[in-house]
């Protein structure tokens, strides 16, 4: 028997995610002159995109991971190996502002977008859950 036939509605709600990474340089022009992040430096940024919704009882997923990848692809081209400060909307490219920027760019393609996490490294980052 197919499991989806006997799932209750509350059991079909799910949040899925897909991870991406890109390399980019940035500096934070609004921090004090002597702050290390004021100087040009780079990161391998990690981005996690979450999409929430009901599991389709026929297909068995919330959304195809390929759709998330497709929504992120133009951003990858725009951000990877770039100076983030030169991208309109990212003049102050903190993790927080990058997360907001990504949300605004991805949300129209992924209506179920529920969260975006941007990490500069394994120990720090920002999570944004929408406007």
CB of 23 closer than 8 Å to CB of 43 = yes
The tokens describing 105, both together, are 């760019």
Distance CA 16, CA 131 (A): 20
Owner of token pair 């129209």: 108
Phi-psi region of 43 (alpha: psi -120 to 50; beta: other; left: phi over 0): beta
Catalytic residue numbers, as ranges: 37, 81, 120
Residue 81 CB partners (closer than 8 Å, separation 6+): 22, 23, 24
How far does Cα 89 stand from its chain's mean position? 16
Cα 85 from chain centroid? 18
């Amino acid at each position: 028997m197919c499991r989806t036939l006997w799932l209750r509605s509350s059991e079909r709600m799910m949040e899925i995610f897909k991870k991406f990474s890109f390399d980019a340089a940035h500096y934070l022009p609004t921090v004090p002159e002597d702050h290390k992040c004021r100087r040009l430096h780079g990161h391998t940024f990690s981005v996690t995109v979450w999409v929430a919704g009901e599991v389709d009882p026929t297909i068995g997923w919330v959304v195809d991971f390929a759709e998330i990848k497709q929504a992120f692809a133009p951003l990858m081209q725009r951000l990877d190996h770039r100076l983030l400060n030169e991208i309109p909307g990212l003049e102050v490219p903190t993790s927080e502002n990058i997360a907001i920027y990504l949300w605004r760019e991805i949300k129209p393609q992924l209506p179920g977008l529920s969260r975006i996490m941007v990490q500069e490294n394994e120990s720090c980052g920002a999570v944004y859950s929408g406007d």
